[in-house]
Amino acid sequence: MTTENRQGPWARFTEIRSRSRELIAAEDRTGWRHEQRMYLQGIVVLSIVGINSSLIRRFGGDLPTRWSPSRIPWSPVIEKAYPEIRSELESYLARTAIPQTAELSGLDPETEEGRNAAPADRGIWRSLMLNSHGEIIEENARHFPATMAAIGAAKGATSIGFSALDANSHIASHVDPNDGALRYAMPILTPGPPASSRLRIGSELVSFEAGHPVIFDISVSHEVWNDSDQPRVLLMIETQLPLRAPIRWFNRVAQSCYRFHPSYNNLPQRARSLALAEATRTKPVPTS
């Protein structure tokens, strides 16, 4: 497995401690004891994920950083449904805005914790959750019947939703501490001229093209740009890395454990609350 732009063991441990503290939601900071319990719970979860990552690096073989859609058996179903998914998304965006990613994490976007949780150093990153570890967010899903039918084919997915980046925004370079997952990014809305909406994976720069999925290893350094004057939106599916047994079995357990990390605590409930409050959201205004 290539080690391009991946963290070493000490950097990973430092990241585990830092992320476990930063990603504790506001409602879990109600008392010192509860906050410390959530912090320790985060360390335990990310430690399991870290052991899993070490096993994958040692025994997983030579795995690519970017994957072909042909390696994902359900990708043709998503690709075929692109026109319907786009139509549903445009209808939704005509009525309301997608909430900020920090809000979905239970953090105030204006605080340091909120900014660190959603590392957009320019502009705003937004997320609309449809399915979290098998739990469907009905308040959002009801707006996307064709989308939900298509993503039903995505067996093994742990998180499904839309990821939006406001006009003239940039998500800084970052590494997810999880070698056991792939991110399947299907561009739905890619405004502006070619290459204005793009992604760096390691040393490779990829331009998003509507209807053409980009699949990559999230443990590799990556960053994202939207240099257009309109929001860019992807259908984002996080799924388990295809591996041989017995590593596949441990990876399945590790990915399942991720739902107990503080950043996922009460996430479906927050997604529902944000959906119910959609009428009060401020839509992103295109820049001139």
Q: Which residue has the tokens 């950097």?
A: 11
Q: What's the CATH fold of domain 66-240+249-280?
A: Jelly Rolls (2.60.120)
Lowest mean pLDDT among 27-36, 114-123, 204-213, 265-274: 27-36
100 DSSP assignment:
B
Asked if 89 and 162 touch (Cβ cutoff 8 Å), the reply is: yes
User: What pLDDT band is residue 2 in, cutting at 50, 70 and 90?
Assistant: very low
Between 106 and 25, whose confidence is greater?
106
Longest dimension (CA), the chain: 54
**pTM score:** 0.83
What digits encode the pLDDT tens for the residues 182-240? Answer: 999 999 999 999 889 999 999 999 999 999 999 999 889 999 999 999 999 999 999 98
Helical axes 32-59 vs 247-257, angle rounded to 10°:
160
Task: Report, as an integer, the average pLDDT of 263-285.
Answer: 73
What digits encode the pLDDT tens for the residues 81-126? Answer: 999 999 999 999 998 989 988 888 777 777 766 666 667 788 899 9
Residue boundaries of the structural domains of the chain: 66-240+249-280
Which strand (E) or helix (H) includes residue 145? helix 145-151
